């Protein structure tokens, strides 16, 4: 029997007002893993009501106590790590070792954020007037709407939910319809950890009407979204006057210089290009290689890619799992056709294999020009293109030729090359002698250009989910006028 799951509003598991459900498929088997509530505007309104009722008490709870609840959630995530990872692989498709990393990232974020409950740093500064004190403090925003993607169905919600909670906000959470069960498991843990009723509310359902109702809601004070840039642009149009944080796409590149350790670079390209089946916003889909080592590296890469094993992520022999759904599979197939039509040379892969599930062969294109669509547009699949360059300046120009600017990497043993790349590459993240993926929770994460408008993680993640309030205390006993009273 296929289980029917409910939404979580005001501390209760409820059916949607719509009376409708949708299926969630295992991408490796195409079998249903459950039926989920198709939320609508009435459900969002009910969730906002609950969050509003809970806000005053939660925001007045001392931040260290909020942090203790988050720390309990970290401990429960740790205790349930293996079962959560297996369910995540079943629902999303990534190989089990990566699913464990997904859970671990949430654990790390919870531990880090719990500690921030002891800080929530403001700052003190001097006043321009005598007998006057000036400082800033952190205050909660209010009710925040969180919209998360399917590719990191535990980790990415943790980057939003834990900072939002420790800052004293209440939450309406809408996960991707491709991974609603992971969201339910996450909320179950938060409930057991002691998050009070109404503080977090979960509404499952499609982008329209569920996500749209959340974005447009007048009592929602902030929206945090991770997903496609076109959806992000639409959110900006519809959100009205509220705080909007967008983590969007990437068309990330790895530069390999002629002095690079090619074996190390090869490991980075395999991990960046085919980890999570290329379904990361930080995935490395463009490999920009110095012409002196281009052919050598091309051969090394193709030999390894041909040996990657497709299969169910629960099978320990699997290297590359399925894509998330049929649409993603067709998208990768279509981009292969576009690449061939525009003159790129297919070295391996490029096909939908004859097996059940939404699989796609790990693919390598060579002879790619920077203006080709496969070198410009985010594919979100296991498709990598190789670009030859003559020097570092050309490599950096190639890196910066896209509309995105999320993650980047350079492999070199020349410190001048490394620092020039750090300075000149247009990206929110640059790795030296490491791949484009591997964010750490205590550091800011985010991009420039069309990759987004915000930073999550670390202290900047706290800033994202709080308001800064400036406080002046005048103990002079008289009216003083800034910029006027200068005596």
* Catalytic sites, residue numbers: 247, 281
Tell which residue, 444, 469, 467, has the closest CA to residue 457.
Answer: 444
* Residues facing residue 246 across a β-bridge: 225
Contact between 164 and 110 (Cβ < 8 Å)? no
Contact between 374 and 339 (Cβ < 8 Å)? yes
Rounded CA-CA distance 75/194 in Å is 12
Rounded CA-CA distance 152/100 in Å is 11
Rounded CA-CA distance 203/157 in Å is 14
DSSP state of 195: P
Rounded CA-CA distance 167/137 in Å is 11
Helix (H) or strand (E) holding 388: strand 383-389
Rounded CA-CA distance 277/397 in Å is 27
Rounded CA-CA distance 406/44 in Å is 32
DSSP state of 474: E
Contact between 166 and 113 (Cβ < 8 Å)? yes
Tell me the H-state helices in 8-117.
41-60, 63-79, 81-92, 96-116
Q: Are strands 243-247 and 222-226 parallel, antiparallel or unpaired?
A: parallel
Contact between 82 and 90 (Cβ < 8 Å)? no
Rounded CA-CA distance 69/194 in Å is 6
A 10 A CB-CB count for 343 gives 10
Tell which residue, 155, 181, 158, has the closest CA to residue 171.
Answer: 158
CA angle 127, 128, 129 (to 5 degrees): 90
Contact between 182 and 175 (Cβ < 8 Å)? yes
Tell which residue, 144, 199, 150, has the closest CA to residue 36.
Answer: 150
């Amino acid at each position: 029997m296929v289980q029917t799951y409910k939404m979580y509003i005001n501390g209760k598991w409820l059916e949607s007002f719509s009376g409708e459900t949708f299926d969630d498929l295992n991408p490796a088997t195409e079998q249903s893993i459950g039926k989920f509530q198709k939320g609508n505007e009435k459900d969002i309104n009910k969730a906002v009501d609950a969050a509003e009722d809970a806000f005053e008490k939660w925001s007045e709870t001392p931040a260290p106590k909020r942090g203790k609840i988050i720390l309990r959630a970290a401990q429960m995530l740790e205790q349930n790590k293996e079962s959560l990872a297996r369910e995540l692989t079943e629902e999303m498709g990534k190989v089990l070792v990566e699913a464990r990393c997904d859970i671990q990232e949430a654990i790390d974020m919870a531990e880090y954020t719990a500690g921030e409950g002891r800080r929530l740093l403001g700052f003190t500064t001097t006043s321009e007037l005598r007998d006057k004190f000036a400082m800033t403090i952190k205050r909660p925003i209010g009710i925040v709407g969180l919209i998360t993607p399917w590719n990191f169905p535990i980790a990415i919600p943790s980057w939003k939910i834990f900072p939002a909670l420790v800052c004293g906000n209440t939450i309406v959470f809408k996960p991707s319809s491709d991974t609603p069960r992971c969201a339910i498991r996450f909320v179950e843990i938060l409930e057991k950890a002691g998050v009070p009723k109404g503080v977090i509310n979960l509404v499952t359902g499609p982008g329209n009407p569920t996500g749209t109702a959340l974005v447009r809601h007048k009592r929602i004070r902030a929206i945090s979204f991770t997903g496609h840039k076109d959806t992000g642009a639409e959110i900006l149009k519809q959100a009205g006057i509220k705080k909007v944080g967008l983590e969007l796409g990437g068309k990330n590149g790895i530069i390999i210089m002629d002095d690079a350790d090619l074996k190390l670079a090869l490991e980075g390209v395999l991990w960046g290009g085919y980890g999570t089946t290329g379904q990361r916003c930080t995935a490395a889909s463009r490999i920009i290689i110095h012409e002196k080592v281009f052919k050598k590296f091309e051969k090394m890469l193709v030999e390894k890619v041909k040996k990657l094993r497709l299969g169910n992520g629960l099978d320990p022999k699997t290297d590359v799992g399925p894509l998330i759904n049929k649409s993603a599979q067709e998208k990768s197939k279509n981009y292969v056709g576009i690449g061939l039509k525009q003159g790129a040379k297919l070295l391996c892969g490029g096909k939908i294999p004859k097996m059940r599930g939404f699989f796609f062969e790990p693919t390598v294109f060579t002879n790619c020009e920077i203006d080709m669509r496969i070198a410009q547009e985010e594919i979100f699949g296991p498709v990598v293109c190789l670009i030859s360059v003559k020097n570092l300046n050309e490599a950096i120009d190639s890196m910066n030729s896209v509309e995105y600017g999320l993650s980047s990497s350079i492999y070199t043993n020349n410190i001048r090359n490394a620092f020039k790349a750090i300075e000149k590459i247009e990206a929110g993240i640059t790795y030296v002698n490491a791949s484009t993926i591997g964010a750490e929770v205590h550091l800011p994460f985010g991009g420039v250009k069309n990759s987004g408008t915000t930073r999550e993680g670390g202290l900047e993640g706290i800033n994202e989910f709080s308001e800064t309030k400036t406080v002046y205390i005048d103990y002079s006993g008289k009216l003083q006028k800034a910029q006027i009273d200068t005596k």
